[in-house]
Amino acid sequence: DAGVIQSPRHEVTEMGQEVTLRCKPISGHNSLFWYRQTMMRGLELLIYFNNNVPIDDSGMPEDRFSAKMPNASFSTLKIQPSEPRDSAVYFCASSTWGRTDTQYFGPGTRLTVL
């Protein structure tokens, strides 16, 4: 199994630009999670989906952030416009849907906004 796949692995952009992060969950998993990790705030859950439907987006910091899951094998997290404080590592995780089902994390995308 390939595991959770994220792209790009590194992204450097300038303030004001649009950034799109991509995630391919593990085949057969129907829940997908986006996390952000910074030194100041640690690992935070931004949003999660079940069966392609957003369930909880209370962690999305601002309207500049949006996430979609058009099908079971693909999700995007978009930041428009990007700001330097968005610099972080963004992780995607997937699982089956259950109270104790394990979340498997991808390798992350390191975003730097100049």
Partner 1 sequence: DAKTTQPTSMDCAEGRAANLPCNHSTISGNEYVYWYRQIHSQGPQYIIHGLKNNETNEMASLIITEDRKSSTLILPHATLRDTAVYYCIVRSFQKLVFGTGTRLLVSP
The contact set with partner 1 (CB under 8 A) reads: 4, 31, 33, 42-45, 48, 50, 55-56, 89, 91, 93, 95, 97, 99-100, 102-108, 110
DSSP 24-81: EPPTT--EEEEEEEETTTEEEEEEEEETTEEEE-TT--STTEEEEEEETTEEEEEESS
The distance of closest approach from Cβ of residue 16 to partner 1 in the complex, given in angstroms and rounded to an integer, is 27
The distance of closest approach from Cβ of residue 66 to partner 1 in the complex, given in angstroms and rounded to an integer, is 20
Closer residue to partner 1 (CB): 4 or 77? 4
